[in-house]
Amino acid sequence: MHPLTLFLSISLPLTLAQLPSSPRFDLTKPSYDLFRHKTLHDSTVQQSFTFDNTNARLFVSQRRNGADSSLGNLCITQLDFSGNQVGYMHLTGFGHGVSFGAQAVGTSTYLWTEVDANSNGYGTRLARFKFTSGTSLSASSPTLQKFKPIPAATEFTCSIDPVNNRLIVRYHLSGSGKHMAVYTLAAATAGDFSSPLVNFKIPTITTLGGAFQGYAAHGRHLYLLWGDSYDVTGGGVNSQVATVDMNTGLLVQGPTLTKAGESLVFREAEGMAVYRTAAGQTRLFLGFASGVAGDRRSNLFFKNATIG
């Protein structure tokens, strides 16, 4: 055997960068408003949001009114890009809603969410189902496709890179913390999780201490969001964003303070997503909840300046 062949056969699975290079968002550049102060179907804080990029639809998750968060009962509101309500679904026993994805199938949207909430209200599998406005689904519904991409993992959430059609899975390994694995959306839809494009432990990142609030991916980069409401910080801004290179698993920018929506009441960082406009501008969206208890509002901002 040629020595190089031996070298490659040993080192390829561990070291080869699997995701092609791509520009990354510059987190130090300003954020712009998509909308502020929009109501969702239920009145709790938003948890996250996602775009069906093909059909230009926006979906926002929140805990259902009156439901303890340990139940994992979620509401998904569909909004137009001005923030007007278009529809909603109720999900029973799914999870916390910290991240989810939307996949176009023709003119339909299929959602990818966590499901089978554990006693803390976090999903223990992923589910895929058609968004059908005005309907409710329980975690035991036979219409759900369910997946456990990493058999040893105990909790899952996901996100979709809508530009590159990849499923980004964040999972918890007991004793080893949070990891990310990336799959082609085609393989994931077929239930094939045998060949992740990358699979790595999220690096330890020293932040100002805000709660973890969401993630999104575009190309080879993963974006992470942290932050607490003004109720928790006593009025200070501690929302931060950071970029991780998914080929190396290393931090490449941040954590950077973001003051997007600084003047909002309450202002809790809640969710991230990527969207590419019809004109071809790719945007990294940051979400924030605002307003008072019983009347929380949705606010979305985006960054679009890139490096590389």
Ligand X SMILES: *[C@@H]1O[C@H](CO)[C@@H](O)[C@H](O)[C@H]1NC(C)=O
- x/- string (CB under 6 A) for ligand X, residues 19-48? -------------x----------------
Which residue from 159, 287, 283, 111 is spatially nearest to 213, judged by alpha carbons? 287
- Write out 132-156 in H/E/C secondary structure: CCCCEEECCCCCCEEECCCCCCCEE
Q: Is-contact 100 270, C-beta < 8 A? A: no
Confirm or reject binding of residue 304 to ligand X (CB under 6 A): yes
Confirm or reject binding of residue 143 to ligand X (CB under 6 A): no
Tokens of 99: 């991240």
Ranges within 260-299 binding ligand X (CB under 6 A) = 281
Q: Greatest CA span in the chain, whole angstroms?
A: 69
Give the interface size with ligand X as a residue count (CB under 6 A).
4
Confirm or reject binding of residue 305 to ligand X (CB under 6 A): yes
Give the Å distances, CA to CA, from 45 to 91, 95, 149, 212: 16, 15, 29, 15
Select 18 or 22, whichever has its Cβ closest to ligand X.
22
Select 104 or 260, whichever has its Cβ closest to ligand X.
260
Which residues, 6+ apart, have CB-to-CB distance to 90 below 8 Å? 64, 73, 74, 75, 76, 135, 136, 137
Select 26 or 110, whichever has its Cβ closest to ligand X.
26
Select 122 or 301, whichever has its Cβ closest to ligand X.
301
Question: Smallest distance, Å, CB 285 to ligand X?
Answer: 12
Please tell me what DSSP assigns to residue 161.
E
Residue nearest to ligand X (CB): 304
Select 43 or 304, whichever has its Cβ closest to ligand X.
304
Tokens of 74: 């979620």
Binding-site ranges for ligand X (CB under 6 A) = 32, 281, 304-305
